[in-house]
Chains A and B, each alone.
Chain A
Amino acid sequence: MRVLIKGGDVVDPLRETVEKLDIIVEDGKITGLFPSGGEAEKTGHETRIIDVSGRIVVPGLIDMHVHLREPGHEYKETISSGAMAGAAGGFTGLACMPNTEPPNDNSSVTEFILKQARKANILKVYPIAAITMGRKGEILTEFGDLRLAGAVGVSDDGSPVRNSQVMRRALEYARYHNLAVISHCEDTDLSAGGVMHEGSVSVRIGLSGIPSASEEVMVERDISLARLTNCPVHIAHISTAGSVEAIRRAKGDGVPVTAETAPHYFSLDHTAVIGYSTNAKMYPPLRTVEDVEAVKKGLAENVLDVIATDHAPHSPLEKQVEFDQAAFGIIGLETAVPLTLQLVKEGVLSLPEAVKKMTYTPASILGVGGGLLKEGMAADLAVIDPEKEYVLKEADIISRSKNSPFIGKKLKGRNILTMVEGHIVWSSESEYLNS
């Protein structure tokens, strides 16, 4: 079957261009890209034409930081439901964190995750294994075995490695096995008991604070270790101006550090917590307006390389409770596109820059390939309607969990079609789903 994706504004994140191109897809691969209306249509084969004029075509988005909750917490999300939520959001690849039950600290769990992903048959799942056994921060997991089983990176996400010696060894050993090391930076003594950003809002609404320093001291530590070992480290979900500044300095010094932020850190600030809204509770917490501006600047200046959602599904059991007892985390797969397009609209990023942070760059850091639309590459792509305006409704959320602070908010820009290896795995418009 030959498919012609016709008339879209095709984004090349590497050359940073947007061009009107027709894309030919055969046997799951891109076999040609031609200036729109030209060559592609003349060929005589039986061709299904998908007209996407006026829409943006991007390489399939890759989210390098999600929680799919399986095994162990299937009532919150499964690999299948999370993959479908990802597909709805324009993602064709998801890297899932190891804080499952049991944790992904051995090859059989990694294999199980990949088996479930194959069964779901929706998009590509890249398991991130634990750095240490049981995510306890003590004994390294079997990186080689995990790599062979299909893990692409390691992280003790949520339970940061406290012992700096263990972290140093992890960086050194992971490089040998080509595993990305992703660090959730939190000094858990400094953040203990805190439930929101420590600042002008926490003092007024009487909630215990998490200081910016709890993130920043660990960012500085990991930078020191990367500097010492010259081994790469990727810092997850940056939320503070101080962290952005630390990474800016480190990059200037040539330290092999990369970093991500999540859409909520450039879309919301700590005032979202007022009213004790548990959907505004996550780690790191929403920070100040100044931090939001610093995160945006960090993205614009490429200090922050990646936009990842930290999609963290939780059920009402964990969220419809007292604020201090509520779980940390929000879902993000289905709102990443409109929130990131807002940055493009504000002029923080160009469209190709924004797309690069959600495609080519995370793919490169994880070493999974993809993230580009090029002849010979897998036909993983998303079609986005940048003008589509809508109010996010809880009932429209595909993820099994509905813990989003953006419910009821007006969003602009929506993924309308997701293709993985030539198959349309999701579309908001029924015409595309036929055949």
Chain B
Amino acid sequence: MNGFSHKDLLGMGQLSVKDIELILDTAESLKEISQREIKKVPVLRGKSVVVFFYEPSTRTKTSFEMAAKMLSADTISISSTGSSIEKGETLIDTAKNLQAMNPDLIVLRHSSSGAPHLLAKEIAASIINAGDGINEHPTQALLDLYTIREKKGKIKGLSVAIIGDIEHSRVARSDIIGLTKMGADVTISGPPTMIPLKADELGVKVVYNPAEAVKEKDVVIVLRIQLERQSKILFPSIREYSTWFGINKEIIKNAKADAIIMHPGPINRGVELAYDVADAPFSVILNQVTNGVAVRMALLYLLMGGTRGEGIN
């Protein structure tokens, strides 16, 4: 046993502070593997992982596949196009059929909140939620926590601003749960149409004006604006959004001098994030991506019952 007692990772809510620390520590010891010349260790040899994406993704999907392969697990990728989902098979039926092939773990990305929870009830394989609807994206939150800890040396006591479409962001929800759990102070910001009515339930402060929201912050997380949501009357135009809520150098000046800026990607350059901010030295956006592989290696390892000493360290 490795001290991680969960069958699935469905959301940040299920994790204790100890669990999160274990995941981050494990990721730290595994990160080095991805920097080696021979990027492979045999810890998950003979294990099979299905990477099952109902929604488009570059980063998360590639990250999971690389993580699994570096640990020597066999991976199979399925997307909704080109699979039986197009033929109208239900999620539960698809899952039961996959289960019949006895995989050890399924990574699921789905447009419906709660889809991985439904799956977890139905099948024996471990489930990792790789993003469900507007609910959660726990592996993104974990890689964000990892990146913050790596850059700041700690999480507890930090001030963090999250800016953008909080209401419809699974990244925001997972980040908020994870950050507050680890003792950070979280402020959310964005147009009132994108801030949940009951935001106080999440244990965060709401400051609509982004220049004020980033004031004295150690970390600024900028969320991707889903341009397709413009039809839902959440904001009048892209121009208006970037004028009033886009994060540029002027706004960032209000944050602490050593603040870091993060973004879960993909970036709409010039919309939620100005060009020069995305590429600035204080931007850790690409570190997040690198760390994503390590964090996912840690999760695969912990969930599939890997034991230490088989090629790690």
Which residues of A are at the interface with B, using a C-beta cutoff of 8 A?
193, 198-200, 202-209, 211, 275-276, 320-325
Contacts and interface: CB of A to CB of B under 8 A. Distances in A.
Contact of B202 (A193, A204, A324): A204
B196 A207 contact: no
A207 B168 CA distance: 9
Given A200-B201, A206-B173, A276-B118, A322 B134 contact: no
A420 to B, nearest CB: 40
Given A203-B202, A204-B202, A206-B135, A323 B114 contact: yes
A323 B113 contact: yes
A321 B90 CA distance: 7
B144 interface: no
A321 B110 CA distance: 12
B29 interface: no
A199 B197 contact: yes
28 contacts: A198-B197, A199-B197, A200-B198, A200-B201, A203-B167, A203-B196, A203-B201, A204-B201, A204-B202, A206-B113, A206-B114, A206-B134, A207-B113, A207-B114, A211-B197, A276-B114, A276-B117, A321-B90, A321-B92, A322-B112, A322-B114, A322-B115, A322-B118, A323-B112, A323-B113, A323-B118, A324-B114, A324-B133
Contacts of B132: 206
Nearest to A205: B135
Contacts of B135: 205-207
Contacts of B202: 203-204
Contacts of A205: 113-114, 135
Contacts of B196: 203
Nearest to A211: B197
B199 interface: yes
Given A199-B197, A322-B91, A208 B134 contact: yes
Secondary structure of the B contact surface, majority rule: mixed
Interface string B107-123: 00010111101100000
Contacts of B197: 198-199, 203, 209, 211
Interface size class of B (residues with CB under 8 A): 20 to 34
Nearest to B201: A200
B170 interface: yes
Contact of A325 (B112, B117, B199): B112
Contacts of B113: 205-207, 276, 323-324
B188 to A, nearest CB: 11
A203 B90 CA distance: 27
A188 B132 CA distance: 25
A203 B166 CA distance: 10
B118 A203 contact: no
Contacts of A200: 198, 201
9 closest Cβ pairs, A-B complex: A206-B135, A276-B114, A322-B112, A203-B196, A200-B201, A206-B113, A323-B114, A200-B198, A203-B198
Contacts of B114: 205-207, 276, 322-324
Nearest to B110: A322
A207 B136 CA distance: 10
Contact of B92 (A202, A203, A320): A320
Nearest to A321: B90
Nearest to B170: A206
A190 to B, nearest CB: 11
Nearest to A195: B113
Contact of A321 (B91, B170, B232): B91
